[in-house]
Structure 1
Amino acid sequence: MLYGITATAIALLLVALLTELLRFPALRLGILDRRRRRAVPLSGGVAVVLVTGLVAAVGDAAGIAPLGTGVGTLLAAGACVGALGLAADVWRLRWWIPLAGTAVAAALVVPYEETGVPGGLLAVGWVVGLTAAFRGLDHADGLAGTVGVVTAFGVAACAAAELMDGIAVLLGVLAAALAGFLVHNWHPARAALGACGSLFAGFVLASAAVFVRAGHAAGASAGVVFALTAVVCADAALVVLARWPARRPLACGGPDHLGHRLRRLGLAPRAVTLLLGVGALGGVLVGVCAHTGWASGGAVLWVAAVAAVAVLALVRVPVPPVSPPRQRSSTASAQVSERLRVRNG
């Protein structure tokens, strides 16, 4: 208990410090998130991955908070996914490369002895889908961090109920790391997660949920993990529902996510983050109660109904057309101009 509190406090402070220290190298190297009105350095993702891995690994190596069977592999696979995301941030890899890497990592960590092969393959698909969806959620200041903190605490509570202390500690450290990142990502953001941090956080959350629900009935497990990640799933469903009929690409970024549409309705940036954070908290509370038996499966259906109504309502909100992804300039003069523009605001 004492180590968990100490570890989360250390993770929060280290990420807050490291994110600030890495801002300037990210600016100089042009590693920026250009989807927002003002380009933001992608220093938060590296800080979250490094600190989460370091704090969890130290606790495991010292024997203070052993991660347990399979959780160390999960953390290592998540770090590899984060490294692949960093490569995508730096070199703008094609969309399918991080997706394929995530699929390989998921296939290596799923506990097939408890899920069975068919269930394990479904779990791999779930991990890949949620990881990609969490990356898409990183489209507004503070949103991915806030939803990530709430979801991590929810899955940690489910893990604690199953006496999976290793997963509970890992997710507590991840939640604290994301909270430390939010110091710089709250509107107006001074740093962003990027593919590195969002893929890592999404992968760890999705894989941990699979570990916690492994061995339970498939239908009930699907309901619980959906409730725990309701906002992430709703955002992905909204994008698919809006783009698929129009035959627009699903992989590229665009101003048609939950946060964008709520802004079009007149909500302030911080109000959008708070609203979706409250929505995530509601889903997490239902998911934890359903997992522990304090609520029936009908409560999960209510979460699904609310999410469906929100998606169907927001899909009607007009948004600008999705533009093709911009290519990074290959000339030195363009890079210098971009850096000067960012520094001058």
Structure 2
Amino acid sequence: MNVLGIIAPGVAALFITVVLAKGVRRTALRSGTGREPGARPSRAGVVRRLGGATVVLGVGTAAAAGSALGAAGDGGRAVTGLLAGAGIVAALGLVHDVRPLGVPLRAAVQTGAATLAVCLAGFSPVAGVLAVIWIVLATQAFALLDTSDGVLATVGAVTAAGLLACAAVEGRAELALLPAVLLAGLIGFLLHNWHPARIRPGACGSLFTGFALSSSGALIHVAAPSERASVVALPVLAAVALADAALVLISRRRVSRPLLQDCGDHITHRLRRLRVTVPGTAVLLGLWAAVAVAVGTLVYAGVLHPAFALVPLAGSALAVLALLRIPAYVAPPGTATRRPATAAPRTPPAPPTSPAPAGTAPRGADAARTATGRPTVPPPPTGRPAVGLTADRG
């Protein structure tokens, strides 16, 4: 494998992504959009779209240039297919950022892009069908991680590092080119996507990242020798994304909510309810992904027995069960049931009484009262009324 031919496109992807992301960030700061409260949705959508486009342009340009210069070796056709499919889903995400698209249309486009990548990579019919299913599902699982600052870029970079290590074990340049440039591009994007982030991947960047990771994993699996436990090891590299997708589907199914409608019930949302900070959430999920990637890579390389791949999978399953106990669906303010105010009982008016004769004071219940409930001063013996005089005793 030409190591220099892999490093050079990675450096180029890092440089292009950093420069483009810095320009988009400056634009966001000058216009007062991005993550500023009260920003108009249209401006915020433009910033998110351009944030994802920086990853697409940086990684796509560097990978295409490296493949054209021979960095992919004899696998240039496979790399071209993966880039073509990733570009299609990135364009789909770009449109979705501006005008939301329906689920059937998005699923159809992603399936078509995966089929194109598989056909150009030369998969067999059976392996091609399985690869298309894996690419579509894993792409959507990684795209769901874009719910907090830095999470998708961190988990994606760790996963890309694991795929790069698996490709390095085989020593094949066409397997290592796309993970290498994706790793560099995500690191460059993370410099501006860390909390507080001014730019975000959006659907454009998240779908592109998920497609590049899943299709690279499928290509490594098909090209792996028979002695490699790739069918067990490679899914472990996507443990965090698969755990988040399983958590969302199970929790929404339990409360009969729409499965494809965002309800704020992802791993990041539940960790925030536990008072974990936004940077802490990204670090925690990055460490989770690093453990799974390390185990999967060692299993793929033959250092560990394939049974060890069950350890991160079992840990992820236990984490999902624990996170399900954290309440995610809280009624919005003002919708709680309130007890109706009980009206004070009305007292019937007192029956009219005949005026007391002059010189006599009223007695008992017939005594006159002021507005504050205090008794009035009785008239003097001379019979002249004491108008406006009230007793000062409590």
TM-score range, shorter chain: 0.7 to 0.9
User: Which protein has greater RCO, CA pairs closer than 8 Å, 6+ apart?
Assistant: 1
- 1:113–1:28: structure 2 CA closer, same or farther, 3 Å change rule? closer
- 1:87–1:192: structure 2 CA closer, same or farther, 3 Å change rule? same
Are residue 309 (structure 1) and residue 297 (structure 2) matched? no
For residues 272 and 183 of structure 1, the distance between their equivalents in structure 2, rounded to whole angstroms, comes to 16
- Which string of whole-angstrom CA distances, capped at 9 and with x for unpartnered residues, describes residues 61-91 of structure 1? 2234545331211111111110111010111
- Which string of whole-angstrom CA distances, capped at 9 and with x for unpartnered residues, describes residues 191-212 of structure 1? 0001101101100110110110
Deviation at 1:10, TM superposition (A): 2.5
For residues 322 and 257 of structure 1, the distance between their equivalents in structure 2, rounded to whole angstroms, comes to 17
SS for the counterpart of 2:254 is coil
Cross-structure match for 2:269: 260
> Quick one: which of 147, 153, 164 aligns to 2:155?
147
Cross-structure match for 2:55: 48
Cross-structure match for 2:131: 123
Describe how 1:1-345 pairs up with structure 2 within 5 A: 1-23=3-25, 41-42=47-48, 43-66=50-73, 67-110=75-118, 116-214=124-222, 220-321=229-330
Cross-structure match for 2:355: none
For residues 33 and 291 of structure 2, the distance between their equivalents in structure 1, rounded to whole angstroms, comes to 35
Deviation at 1:47, TM superposition (A): 0.7
For residues 112 and 324 of structure 2, the distance between their equivalents in structure 1, rounded to whole angstroms, comes to 33
Residue type of the alignment partner of 1:15: T
- Which string of whole-angstrom CA distances, capped at 9 and with x for unpartnered residues, describes residues 140-192 of structure 1? 11000000001011111112222321231221111111111111110111100
1:253 touches 1:322 (CA, 8 Å); kept in 2?
no
- Percent identity, aligned pairs only, is 41
- 1:309–1:50: structure 2 CA closer, same or farther, 3 Å change rule? same
Larger Rg computed on CA atoms:
2
For residues 194 and 206 of structure 2, the distance between their equivalents in structure 1, rounded to whole angstroms, comes to 16
Deviation at 1:28, TM superposition (A): 10
Deviation at 1:220, TM superposition (A): 4.2
For residues 273 and 141 of structure 1, the distance between their equivalents in structure 2, rounded to whole angstroms, comes to 7
2:178 touches 2:216 (CA, 8 Å); kept in 1?
no
For residues 217 and 294 of structure 2, the distance between their equivalents in structure 1, rounded to whole angstroms, comes to 15
Aligned length, in residue pairs = 323
1:255 touches 1:322 (CA, 8 Å); kept in 2?
no
2:90 touches 2:204 (CA, 8 Å); kept in 1?
yes
Residue type of the alignment partner of 2:92: L
Deviation at 1:19, TM superposition (A): 1.6
For residues 26 and 122 of structure 1, the distance between their equivalents in structure 2, rounded to whole angstroms, comes to 42
Deviation at 1:321, TM superposition (A): 4.9
- 1:236–1:83: structure 2 CA closer, same or farther, 3 Å change rule? same
For residues 80 and 161 of structure 1, the distance between their equivalents in structure 2, rounded to whole angstroms, comes to 30
For residues 38 and 319 of structure 1, the distance between their equivalents in structure 2, rounded to whole angstroms, comes to 27
Q: Which moved more, 1:121-130 or 1:91-100?
A: 91-100
Deviation at 1:271, TM superposition (A): 1.0
Deviation at 1:36, TM superposition (A): 12
- 1:27–1:122: structure 2 CA closer, same or farther, 3 Å change rule? farther
Q: Which moved more, 1:12-21 or 1:310-319?
A: 12-21
Q: Which moved more, 1:285-294 or 1:301-310?
A: 285-294
1:248 touches 1:322 (CA, 8 Å); kept in 2?
no
Cross-structure match for 1:342: none
For residues 37 and 321 of structure 2, the distance between their equivalents in structure 1, rounded to whole angstroms, comes to 25
- Calculate the aligned-residue CA RMSD, in Å: 3.0
Residue type of the alignment partner of 2:196: P
2:59 touches 2:181 (CA, 8 Å); kept in 1?
yes
Residue type of the alignment partner of 2:24: L
For residues 113 and 205 of structure 1, the distance between their equivalents in structure 2, rounded to whole angstroms, comes to 15
For residues 38 and 246 of structure 2, the distance between their equivalents in structure 1, rounded to whole angstroms, comes to 22
SS for the counterpart of 2:308 is helix
- 1:19–1:113: structure 2 CA closer, same or farther, 3 Å change rule? closer
Q: Which moved more, 1:2-11 or 1:24-33?
A: 24-33
2:145 touches 2:152 (CA, 8 Å); kept in 1?
yes
- Which string of whole-angstrom CA distances, capped at 9 and with x for unpartnered residues, describes residues 217-254 of structure 1? 69943421221111011100100110122221222223
Cross-structure match for 1:329: none
Residue type of the alignment partner of 1:274: V
1:78 touches 1:200 (CA, 8 Å); kept in 2?
yes
For residues 112 and 218 of structure 1, the distance between their equivalents in structure 2, rounded to whole angstroms, comes to 25
Structure 2: runs of 5+ lacking an equivalent: 333-394
Structure 1: runs of 5+ lacking an equivalent: 324-345
- 1:34–1:68: structure 2 CA closer, same or farther, 3 Å change rule? farther
Residue type of the alignment partner of 1:17: V
SS for the counterpart of 1:105 is helix
- 1:258–1:6: structure 2 CA closer, same or farther, 3 Å change rule? same
Residue type of the alignment partner of 1:122: L
